[in-house]
Amino acid sequence: MKTLELPADGLEGLKKHWRADALSGFLVFLLALPLSLGIAKASEFPPAMGVLTAMIGGLFVSLFAGSRLTIKGPAAGLITICAGAVTEMGGGTEGWHLALGAIVVAAGIQIIFGVLKFGSLSDFFPHSAVHGMLAAIGLIIFSKQIHVLLGIDPSTLKGLEPLELYERIPHSLMHADPRVTLVGIVSLLIIFGMPLIKSPLVKKIPAPMVVLLVTIPMALIMDFKHTEPAFDMAKIGDFWANVGWNVSFGAIGSWVFWKYVLMFLFINSLESLLTVKAIDGLDPWKRESNFNKDLMAVGAGNALSGMLGGLPMISEVARSSANVNFGGHTRWANFFHGFFLLVAMLLFIPVIEMIPNTALAALLIAVGYRLASPNEFFKTYKIGAEQLVIFVVTIIVTISTDLLIGVGAGIAMKFIFHIFNGVPVGSLFEAHYEFEEKNNTYFIKFKESAIFSNLLGFKKALHAVKPQRKVVLDFTESKMIDHTFMEMLHHFEENYQHQGGTVMTMGFDRFKPFSKHPLAARKYSPEVESKLEIKLTTRQVALRDQAEREEFVFYPNRVKNSLKYKDFPFQLSGKILYEENVLTRYTESAKIEIADVVLQHGVRQEQRETSITVLMASDLDLPIPAFALEPEGLWNKVSDLLLGADIDFPGNPDFSKKYYLRSHDAESVKKFFTPDVLVFLANREEIHIECHRHKLLFFRKRDLTEPSDLVYLQEYALAFIQVLHGRTQANPGA
């Protein structure tokens, strides 16, 4: 559980939150070290240059970045561009130095883009095309790394295109090195097996570090250093001697140089901005990043990294998601991640050189799988069949040609779909709307089409809206709304409501969605009829029957109601998507609401959803301080050892041993938890209880509760409230 106060920034944030940020930074470092080595090696760069990039992203860029929780470092999404640049510019050391020149020039343009406030240009690109590009990169990564995992000499694969590399897989399987392959397979089992273990402690341990802890001893036992070729082991060499002025602009007059400048600029900026936007959605404190400032910071980091020999960096999605999950509070978590990488390069290079390359290949195969997993295809199809077509076209063209042509093909396909669905050519790039302010209420009427290519114009209108007002969005004169616009609208509604405003939409009942996805594209249809059709699931039927027996009112519908749970600690590591299956009743002591709450953890390829059944007790005539109480486990003990945040009661060791209690107002909580309250909790089943704004929240586990167990949850909550009433009567001054 995290504290509820908004973390300070700058030196004040370091002073207040250094323990939490140092812990998160260390755990992210464990994830970043092997990935940075693997990404650099796959990019045809010296492996340690990936670590140099991450060090600069942490120690340098974090100091003036525009985002708080993103981790800067090398990304798998840029592997194919880096490797292509090195190869096409001569290969080897010469190709590396010339590729650095393209990186530095692209970084300079990136800084100019930030100064010119181009940070919102990422909105122009349809998400299905971007995800298709990343899926293609994932397939390309797999096509190369599967041979490394099998122990094949990389020099025999140089110059082969992705399709040729796939054709070569049977040959590599026939000639695989059994011992190297065994280490690679064990690595894959660890990477894909650990997420299946439900232990909260295991989920906090970075799988890449477990891979190293297992595979380094395996390589030592089998004496890889003396029995296997040199290409099967990681090689750092004299790292600090190689860090210096490595950049060369000798190819600046060639078309190849400028092609890669454009590719570095486009993919790097797009990927970084999309990650910043996604991580903002997971920020427990709902802080908004400065996209232009962050773009300039990443550009400055890329320029420094390129000059010294490193790869281009972005706000990396997997490490940023991990930072949120590990409890990072401020930008100092990124700084600490870079600091621990610096320590590793100072003290542990001999250990790092014990890493077998097949383990690094396994890590990259896992990254490639996440980018192009079957789930990515399924998620895209759920949004709409036309999105899947754009997604697949982008993949095919990218693998057959290159990234820029692939993304261009995806965008062209998107335009074809829009024109086919009746979008006027005149509104493809121009936003048509009416804007009016009256009596502290904004009225915005959207006309013709609202799609990705005219999105910036509509965002300009929404940015003109002042906070804490009422906004009415009227779509009665619109003909077409695409998925990219729907996502932007969803984020606007959520952020504006968190700022205390109200958003109302009109006219959506005139549209026919392309799928059942809530953010699917939709087209005006005169034949569509507004009707309510609810088909109950097996769980909903059981909940309805339980509600009738217990005299609850049952609402099965999905409702976006994140404000209801705003700042409750249980959702601080995720983002509330919606609640459903709400049971409501009034008792003598409180209003009781039981609901299934769906949270999103991670973003983009790292995204997963969890459902938790919670009980909220409100309308309480009790002054209760904010706190978070949960059963104490091993991870809590480690956290308390480092952060010292657990509130204990020496007079009731049973409670202190059983529960982990936190609050930003420890003194008030100590007064509130009287002996009667402590005895009640110590003698009952372990449960999660949180309080915020004098409302209590109860849940038994971070999962759905069976309908038959809801009676116990309600009885527990009411009994706890009765104990609190007795405490108040016995201690009227408390």
The contacts of residue 129 (CB under 8 Å, 6+ apart) are 390, 391, 394, 407, 410, 411, 413, 414
Q: What pLDDT shows up at residue 532?
A: 46
Q: What pLDDT shows up at residue 621?
A: 78
Q: What pLDDT shows up at residue 271?
A: 87
pLDDT bucket at 481, cuts 50 / 70 / 90: very high
Q: What 3 state SS string does 491-550 have? A: HHHHHHHHCCCEEEEECHHHEEECCCCCCCCEEECCCCCCCCCCCCCHHHHHHHHHHHHH
Residue 9, in any domain of the structure: no
Q: What pLDDT shows up at residue 639?
A: 53
Q: What pLDDT shows up at residue 337?
A: 96
Q: How many CB atoms lie within 10 A of CB 85?
A: 30
Cβ–Cβ < 8 Å for 710, 699: no
Cβ–Cβ < 8 Å for 73, 313: yes
Number of domains observed in the structure of the chain:
3
State mean pLDDT over 22-35: 91
Say which range, 225-234, 271-280, 409-418, 479-488, has the weakest mean pLDDT. Answer: 271-280
**What confidence tens digit (pLDDT) does each residue in 445-478 have?**
999 999 988 888 888 888 888 888 888 899 988 9
Residue 319, in any domain of the structure: yes
8 DSSP assignment: P
Token pair in block for residue 456: 């910036």
Percentages (nearest 5) of helix, strand, coil residues in the chain: 60, 15, 30
Question: Are 317 and 440 in a shared domain?
Answer: no
- CA distances (Å), 561 to each of 22, 586, 598, in order? 33, 20, 11
**What confidence tens digit (pLDDT) does each residue in 414-425 have?**
999 999 988 888
Mean pLDDT is highest, among 93-97, 158-162, 692-696, for 93-97
Say which range, 11-15, 82-86, 662-666, has the weakest mean pLDDT. Answer: 662-666
Q: How many CB atoms lie within 10 A of CB 517?
A: 17
pTM for this one? Answer: 0.77
Question: Are 289 and 436 in a shared domain?
Answer: no
Token pair in block for residue 587: 């008792």
Say which range, 90-99, 184-193, 684-693, has the weakest mean pLDDT. Answer: 684-693
Q: What pLDDT shows up at residue 734?
A: 40
Q: What pLDDT shows up at residue 728?
A: 45
Question: Are 596 and 677 in a shared domain?
Answer: yes
**Percent of the chain, pLDDT > 90?**
42
How many Å apart are CA 656 and CA 141, to the nearest integer?
50
Residue 139, in any domain of the structure: no
How many Å apart are CA 1 and CA 16, to the nearest integer?
16
Token pair in block for residue 715: 């009885």
pLDDT bucket at 355, cuts 50 / 70 / 90: very high
**What confidence tens digit (pLDDT) does each residue in 263-282 have?**
999 889 988 988 888 788 77
Assign 273 to helix, strand or coil: helix
- CA distances (Å), 402 to each of 260, 290, 420, in order? 11, 31, 27
Say which range, 12-16, 72-76, 346-350, 662-666, has the weakest mean pLDDT. Answer: 662-666
Cβ–Cβ < 8 Å for 49, 225: no
Distance of CA 579 to the CA centre of its chain: 21
User: Quick one: CA dihedral 703, 709, 715, 720, positive or negative?
Assistant: negative
Question: Are 594 and 486 in a shared domain?
Answer: no
Q: What pLDDT shows up at residue 562?
A: 63
Domain boundary among 477, 498, 524: 524
Question: Are 475 and 603 in a shared domain?
Answer: no
Say which range, 2-6, 239-243, 364-368, 638-642, has the weakest mean pLDDT. Answer: 638-642
Question: Are 55 and 200 in a shared domain?
Answer: yes
Best CA proximity match to 73, nearest among 120, 31, 36: 36
Q: What pLDDT shows up at residue 196?
A: 86
Question: Are 490 and 547 in a shared domain?
Answer: no
Structural domain boundaries enclosing 459: 425-524
- CA distances (Å), 286 to each of 83, 467, 598, in order? 37, 15, 18
Question: Are 492 and 623 in a shared domain?
Answer: no
Q: What pLDDT shows up at residue 394?
A: 93
